[in-house]
Structures are given as C-alpha cells and as structure tokens.
Amino acid sequence: MIQKFIDALIDIILWAPRMLFSWLIDAVEHMMGWLPEIQVVDVESIFNGLGGQMLYFLTMFEFSYGLTAVMTALIARFVLRRIPFIG
C-alpha cells in the first residue's frame, strides 16, 4: 500500500514538468510551421557532375570514411563539451 502511495505521489510531482515539456514541444512544432520551405539540392546530381578523375581521387583518399570520421569527432566534441566538469 505504501508503494502505491509513493507511486501516486511521484506521478503527481512529475505531472507539472511533463505538461510544461509537452506545451513547449507543441509551441516549437507550431513555430516550425512558420518557417518557409527550403529547396533541397539533389546530392546525386552534384556527384554526377564530378569528373572521373575527381571521383578516382575521392575514392583513393577514402573521402567517405574521412567525412564520417570528422563528423563523428565533431559531434562527440559537442556532446562532451555539454557535460559539466568535463568540457
């Protein structure tokens, strides 16, 4: 019986932050509708425009792996800088 009381108390205490978060998400979703649509460029057409020599060197230098490694490092740095007492 005490466990049910504690669970009910926790639900009551956590109700306000959950509702505030829900309202915040709804407001952000509503504001996203105000943004204009952006024309996305087709990436495949950009790579089709590259010459054979450029594609050869991108393949030799493993550009896809390098780009993935750099982006992963930047994201990890961003996340680690947000942790208190580390960044």
CA 19, chain centre distance (Å)? 23
Helix (H, G, I), strand (E, B) or coil at 86: coil
4-56 confidence digits (pLDDT tens): 989 988 988 989 889 999 999 999 999 988 988 888 777 777 777 788 888 88
Q: Is the distance from CB of 87 to CB of 80 less than 8 angstroms?
A: yes
Phi-psi region at 86: left, alpha or beta (left = phi > 0; alpha = psi -120 to 50):
alpha
Whether residues 47 and 83 fall in one domain: yes
Q: Are residues 46 and 75 in the same domain?
A: yes
Summarised one tens digit per residue, pLDDT across range 32-43 is: 889 888 887 777
Residues 29 and 54 in one domain: no
DSSP state of 83: S
**Structural domains of the chain, count:** 2
49 and 32 co-located in one domain? no
pLDDT at 87: 55
Domain shared by 21 and 55, yes or no: no
pTM of the complete model: 0.42
Examine the domain organization and report whether 45 and 79 are in the same domain: yes
Domain of residue 15 covers: 1-36
Same domain, residue pair 26 and 63: no
